[in-house]
Structure formats: structure tokens, C-alpha cells
Amino acid sequence: MATVLVIGSGIAGLVAAIHASERHDVVVVTKDVLGQSNTRYAQGGIAGVMFDDDRVEDHIRDTLLAGAGLCDEDAVRVLCTEGPARIRELIDFGVSFDRDGADFAKGLEAAHSYPRVLHAGGDATGAAIETALVTTLAARAVPVLEHTFLRDLLVDHGAVHGALLQSTERGVFTIEADHVILATGGLGQLYPYTTNPSVATGDGAAAALRAGAVLADVEFVQFHPTALTLPGSFLVSEAVRGEGAVLRDAAGRRFMVGLHPDAELAPRDVVARGIAEAMAAQGGRPVTLDATSLGAERLAARFPGIDEQIRASGVDWSTTPVEVAPAAHYWMGGIATDLDGRTSVPGLFAVGEVARTGVHGANRLASNSLLEGAVFAARAVAAIDAERGGAQDHRPVLPPHTERIDLAPSGGQSDSAPSTITPFSREALHTVMWAHAGLVRDASGLRAAKQTLDGWARSTASSASAAESTRAAEDANLLLLARSVVAAALHRTESRGAHARDDFPLIDAAQAQPVAVSSAPVPHPTLPEDHPLVNGTVLAPC
């Protein structure tokens, strides 16, 4: 029996905790309340081969095509082959997917050759999954620490053995564990317009980078094409377009028809950039999503949550198209792992959006994210079980031909000329990232971003401390990851999937390999024993 610390409570974290609780002592840490995660906001559904006339090979092919030549085919095969069993497990946990008579209702989303997407509550799939998993975990009596922030990982002799945490109730404290599973989600809050909740500040990835772990594919940030142009960037699921809604410019023209054979159901990066081009041509005004052909009854029945949200804004979308624009949605990159969630640091696993398993490549296929979380969470726990039994079957986290970038220490010298920059703030960071590392990039903008980010890193390094506020620690994490994204985006001199460069508009076959980012390990902050924030050490049960 091992002690396992799971950090994060979306589908990946909860599946990992449920599986681990069968054989190990487990503690779950979550930044907000249990169940507050990107998973809860997932509308479209979960993809998997659950129908007799669908094929695993077709799901594999669709995933590889969407990944634009950068997927790890072995990881994709694991995802699509093991996915159906994980979906059936979710059903056993209590997820009630929508039915069409006796069969599951089929949903079609972009870049799928078959309508294999299962949904629940119409457009509330993530919430249904989250609720079922939280209920299952509660029945296992697994200890859960809510409102607890990951400050850093505990590293000794190159291996992770726990985490430094902070909460309003306990102050700063540690939990020691044989294995730490990071399931902390992505970095959507790196951008001003995002479909992600406020907790998505990249804490797990930043902590792993400071602990010496390797990140990869960090330049690939997926922008969802259709977020409502309202505060909060509320997502309008791709499934709406799958049901027949179309995109129109200010003149009422279906502009995607001329840009891709699949029009509105082209891969997300294609649709997002098509919208951006249309918006630029009309002075920055949003485009519209026209779902009027579906009718009020069908919209309310198939998309009850979206229907309610749009109508609450004062629009009847059954008669009037709604304004939409792209927003940061999903991070294809993350902590590099093998097929079992192992990272490059012993003792540390990563699953879900925080992990770079290789299944998404340069652009994630719609509704593969929930599937990835469930599949690789289960595999990570199985790997822990095998290690406890003496089995060793480690695979490198990245292929040997990976390109590598080492980030300079935040307090070190920059290769950029010194300049006067605006003071650091999250809002200023948003402005830089949206302008220079958003939907479309170029060398000039990325170099300007790098100079600003490096300057901020130098100016804020001396003020960082273990006693800083959670908001300040989140900002430090976002800044570290922003530097990683920009460095990798500068290095990748091509356009591939979600990474588009005006100055290198074509795919370069010679660059069909991951770009890895690493940094010299940073010792976690220490506090004197009599510091007012220190409230003892909490050890996972042995």
C-alpha cells in the first residue's frame, strides 16, 4: 500500500483518486470546492467508439488528422482503444448519457468522421460526469482538502515526495506522499478571453517545471471558435454547429464555406482563425452564429444550458443569430509524460489537461479531452500498482529527436536589450499574450513579448516568497508559463495546428517533433518554524 496525493478534482483527478482508493491511502487536494474544474463546464461530450458501426481505427485516424502530424500514435491508440471501457466505467459510476430510444444519442463534432460523441443533459456532460465522480469518491470516504492551493512540490534527491500547500484554514503546510498525481488542468487564465474558470492558472505545470520536470508542446493553445461576446466568454458548444448552425459575417455570408471543405465543422484552429480573419475584415466586430434553422423547441431540448444562458442575455437565438468570437479554451501542451502518466521526475505523475501525453498533437480533436482524463488517470494508478509490486516498465516521456529549450532563470540575464516596461499585473500579462502569443503570431511580436516577460520575471523574482498571497503565486505561475509558451512559439518556425505564424505560414515537415521546455530546479520556499503562516506538517497516512 502506498500513500498517493492527488492534486486536482476534474475528471482526471477524481478517476485517479477513485482507482487509487481501492488499494492505497489517498488524499485529494483541490483549489476550490470539490468539483469546480474545467470538467464541470464541458458541454459537448465525450468521444468514444460505443456504436457497432463505428471503428476504433476511424477514431484513431480522426485524432491523428486533427493533431496535424504531431500526435504520439502509440498514445492515440491507447486513448481510442481503452476509451470505451472508461466510458462504461463512468456509466457504472452513475453518469446517465442521453438516449435516443434504447441507444445512446449520437453527437457530431468538428473533424469527426462519425457521430461518436456521447452527451448528458443535452449540453451538461461535464457537470453530469463531475457530479457522478464526486458522489463515487464520497462513498469511498477519501479525505478531501478544499480551498487548498498548490504552492510547490517537495523534491529530495531529484524525486518528488509531496507538496507544499496553503489554505486559509491551515496556513502553509506540507503533505508527504509516495506518489503525487497532478491533475490541475490548464492555463486558460493566461489570456483575457477564455472559456476556463478562474482556477485555471497553470499551478501544477509551473510547480512541475520548478521541480525539474520537462514540459512539451506548450506553444499549442487551442482557441475555441465560438464563445459568446459577453463577460465570461461563455462557450457555445461545437455540437451546436454539429446540429446545423452556421457562421456568418456582418454581410450575412457563410465565410467558412470558402475556407475549408468541412466549413463550420473544420478543425477548431481552422474555424477560429477563419473567424479572426472575418472579424479583422469588418473592423473587429464579432461574427454571428446562426442557429435559427434549428427552431426554439430543438434548441431548448438539445442545448438547455446554452439556451438558458443566451436567453438570459436578452437574445432569442431561435430567431436571431448570436455574436461569437474565439477564446482560449484548451492547452495541448503540458508536463511531458509516458503512456502511464509518469513524468521525467520520479514520484510525480500528471494526468488530464496538465499533462502532455501526446494524444492531442498540435490541435485536440473535439471531445477527446474528457476521454484522455479518464483513460490516463486509470493508467497512472495501474502504473503505481505495478511499481509497488516490483514491476518496472518505464518509457521515455518524449522521443529522442525532441527539440529542447532551457528557460533562463527568472533573475538571470536576458538576451533582450533592457527597456522600460509597464509594471507587471495580470491584466498587463493578458494584453501581451493576446496581442503577441494568441491566435496568430510572428517573430517581431514574440520577441517583444519575450523581452517584456523576461523583464517582469527579473523584476518580480526578488519579491517572491512563500508567504505571498495566492493571487500573487498564481500570477508567478502564469508568468513562468507565459515565458515557456513564448519561447516555444519563437522556436517553432512554422504554422501547425493551433500554432499559426504569419511569417511562417506553412507546415514544415522537418519540424514534426515536440519542442520541450525545461528549467533548472528551483528549491521550494521555506519558512521558519515560528512563521505565523506555518501550521504544522500534515502527513498522508502510512
The residue with greater pLDDT, 537 or 507, is: 507
CB contact set of 526 (below 8 Å; sequence gap of 6+): 466
Told to judge if 210 belongs to the known catalytic residues of this protein, a careful annotator would answer no
pLDDT class of 394 with cuts at 50, 70, 90? confident
Q: How many Cβ atoms from other residues are within 10 Å of residue 57's Cβ?
A: 12
Report the C-alpha gap between 194 and 187 in whole angstroms: 10
Average pLDDT, the chain: 91
Look at residue 412 in the predicted model and tell me its pLDDT.
Answer: 52
* Edge-to-edge strands, sheet with 355-356: 355-356, 334-336, 215-216, 515-518, 403-406
Nearest to 165 by CA among 473, 521, 478: 473
Least confident of 240-249, 275-284, 411-420, 503-512: 411-420
Least confident of 116-125, 200-209, 342-351: 116-125
The secondary structure element, H or E, covering residue 149 is strand 148-156
The average pLDDT across 410-430 equals: 71
The residue with greater pLDDT, 416 or 429, is: 429
pLDDT class of 530 with cuts at 50, 70, 90? very low
Pairing outcome for strands 3-7 and 25-29: parallel
Report the C-alpha gap between 526 and 483 in whole angstroms: 25
Look at residue 395 in the predicted model and tell me its pLDDT.
Answer: 77
Residue 527 has pLDDT above 50, yes or no: no
pLDDT class of 524 with cuts at 50, 70, 90? low
Look at residue 540 in the predicted model and tell me its pLDDT.
Answer: 40
pLDDT class of 413 with cuts at 50, 70, 90? low
**Tens of pLDDT, residues 230-261:** 888 888 988 899 999 999 999 999 999 999 99
The average pLDDT across 430-454 equals: 97
Q: Which residue has the cell 463534432?
A: 109
> Hey, is 444 helix, strand or coil?
helix
Report the C-alpha gap between 229 and 289 in whole angstroms: 11
Task: Kindly list the distances between the CA atom of residue 358 and the CA atoms of 124, 211, 364, 399, 422, in Å, as whole numbers in the listed order.
Answer: 27, 21, 10, 10, 37
Domains of the chain: 3-220+332-388 (3.50.50.60), 225-327 (3.90.700.10), 408-510 (1.20.58.100)
**Tens of pLDDT, residues 471-510:** 999 999 999 999 999 999 999 999 999 999 999 999 999 9
Q: Which residue has the cell 503570431?
A: 441
The average pLDDT across 136-164 equals: 96
Report the C-alpha gap between 160 and 345 in whole angstroms: 7
pLDDT more than 90, % of the chain: 80
From the number of C-beta atoms within 10 Å of its C-beta (0-12, 13-18, 19+), residue 230 rates as middle
- The CA-based angle 502-434-360, given to 5 degrees, is 70
- The CA-based angle 66-69-73, given to 5 degrees, is 90
Look at residue 467 in the predicted model and tell me its pLDDT.
Answer: 54
Residue 430 has pLDDT above 90, yes or no: yes
Report the C-alpha gap between 16 and 312 in whole angstroms: 37
Cell of 439: 491566435
Q: Cα torsion at 204, 205, 206, 210 (round to 10°)?
A: 100
pLDDT class of 466 with cuts at 50, 70, 90? low
Contact 243, 294 (CB under 8 A): yes
Report the C-alpha gap between 304 and 298 in whole angstroms: 9
**Tens of pLDDT, residues 11-36:** 999 999 999 999 999 999 999 988 77
**Tens of pLDDT, residues 175-200:** 999 999 999 999 999 999 999 999 99
The average pLDDT across 281-304 equals: 95
Look at residue 421 in the predicted model and tell me its pLDDT.
Answer: 72
Look at residue 459 in the predicted model and tell me its pLDDT.
Answer: 87
Look at residue 73 in the predicted model and tell me its pLDDT.
Answer: 97
Look at residue 415 in the predicted model and tell me its pLDDT.
Answer: 52
The residue with greater pLDDT, 7 or 41, is: 7
Residue 388 has pLDDT above 50, yes or no: yes
Look at residue 191 in the predicted model and tell me its pLDDT.
Answer: 96
Highest mean pLDDT among 115-124, 202-211, 383-392, 402-411 belongs to 202-211
Residue 95 has pLDDT above 90, yes or no: yes
The average pLDDT across 385-406 equals: 84
Nearest to 48 by CA among 137, 102, 113, 117: 117
Report the C-alpha gap between 222 and 522 in whole angstroms: 29
Look at residue 537 in the predicted model and tell me its pLDDT.
Answer: 45
Pairing outcome for strands 515-518 and 246-248: unpaired
From the number of C-beta atoms within 10 Å of its C-beta (0-12, 13-18, 19+), residue 234 rates as buried
The average pLDDT across 124-144 equals: 94
Residue 414 has pLDDT above 70, yes or no: no
Report the C-alpha gap between 383 and 392 in whole angstroms: 9
Contact 371, 42 (CB under 8 A): no
Q: How many Cα atoms within 13 Å fall on the side-chain side of residue 104?
A: 23
Cell of 446: 514574440
Residue 59 has pLDDT above 50, yes or no: yes
- pTM of the entire structure? 0.91
Q: State the sign of the Cα–Cα–Cα–Cα dihedral 277, 280, 286, 288.
A: negative
Pairing outcome for strands 99-100 and 144-145: unpaired
Look at residue 408 in the predicted model and tell me its pLDDT.
Answer: 79
CB contact set of 134 (below 8 Å; sequence gap of 6+): 9, 14, 34, 35
pLDDT class of 468 with cuts at 50, 70, 90? confident
Look at residue 423 in the predicted model and tell me its pLDDT.
Answer: 93
Nearest to 162 by CA among 524, 529, 535, 527: 524
Nearest to 394 by CA among 377, 378, 380, 375: 380
Active-site pick, 86, 268, 302, 496: 268
The average pLDDT across 407-421 equals: 58
Report the C-alpha gap between 167 and 145 in whole angstroms: 9
The average pLDDT across 115-129 equals: 91
Look at residue 294 in the predicted model and tell me its pLDDT.
Answer: 97
